[in-house]
Amino acid sequence: RTLNIPLRLDIFYEYSDDTTNGSGVQRELLERWCIDYKNVNMPLASSSSSSSKVMTGATKSSSSLMNNNINSSVSQLRLVCKRIVVLLRNLHCATRLLPAYR
């Protein structure tokens, strides 16, 4: 499973247009954000401990390795979601500070 799928955030301005027939709601794209996840390398301490386990013969079965990969993937996804929430909260706060905010 990959976490490198970008998150796209489109910001539209919706306004009513009386000249058109029908609902009269128009949308205009103001901004488009593309948020990418960049994988950070694991610390050297964890990689050296795993290599020492392999050297001593203490290896794990393939099912437990698969479970660890899934758990690692889920924990990475949770971390990405938390960081996106923080980013969007900061963006919202910065938007409210702008003079055009009502």
Percent above pLDDT 70 for the chain: 57
Which tens digits make up the pLDDT trace of 43-73?
544 444 444 444 444 444 555 655 666 677 7
**What was the pLDDT predicted at 63?**
57
Q: How far, rounded to the nearest angstrom, does the alpha carbon of residue 66 sit from its chain's CA centroid?
A: 23
C-alpha distances in Å from residue 44, one per residue of 39, 40, 47, 50, 51: 15, 12, 5, 10, 11
12 CB neighbour count, 10 Å cutoff = 12
Amino acid, single-letter form, for residue 60: K
Which tens digits make up the pLDDT trace of 76-95?
878 888 888 888 889 888 88
User: In this structure, are strands 7-16 and 25-35 parallel, antiparallel, or unpaired?
Assistant: antiparallel
pTM above 0.85, yes or no: no
